[in-house]
Amino acid sequence: MIEIRNVTKKDLQEIKATVKSAFYREGKDEVFNEWEFVEKVTYDRGFVKELCQVAVLNGKIIGYILLSEAHIGKNKGLSLGPLAVSPVYQNKGIGKQLIKNGLKEAKALGYEWVALIGGDYYLQFGFKPALQYNIILSENNPENEYLKILFLNRINVDKVCGVMKFCNSFYSENGELL
């Protein structure tokens, strides 16, 4: 039985190993990558401890999800990512469980929206292309078409538009999105 629970400090190295197993490709940058980001974001003001979760099977971490604070204009919400599942456990619904649980927790905490950069996989959870709401990463950014958003509360949909800003951990020292 898979257990989804909040992350504890003692989980860090096992989470990094899980994330690396999911994302590592030959030639991948060993400094700016998803598995080192996992630790970096825990020191960020945008880190939300309750929204950093792991999937555990037989005492072993096999999946990870992070939702951290973000802004679109003056509206605060969340960004989703990274989401990682150990390769041997992929395509078994674990990522879906992590997402559904994360979104449920985010709504319970009162967040109004969640955004991410990702493909069509996320449409099944209700995410929509952010461009249709005039939400972008920056002018002429090639990633704008991959920016997706899910409104957890339909009340302020019309007020959320503009430039998406992740928490500081998502940016290099030059201010570029990693």
Structure token digits, residue 159: 């007020």
Domains of the chain by range and CATH? 3-170 (3.40.630.30)
Stretch 53-75: mean pLDDT:
96
> Cα separation of 46 and 16, whole Å?
19
Structure token digits, residue 143: 């990633």
Taking the model in full, what pTM does it have? 0.92
- State pLDDT tens for residues 134-161: 999 999 889 999 999 999 987 778 889 9
Whole-angstrom CA distances from 75 to 87, 106, 115, 159, 163 are 36, 15, 12, 8, 10
- State pLDDT tens for residues 65-107: 999 999 999 999 999 999 999 999 999 999 999 999 999 999 9
Express as a percent the part of the chain with pLDDT over 70: 96
Whole-angstrom CA distances from 105 to 36, 98, 131 are 25, 11, 26
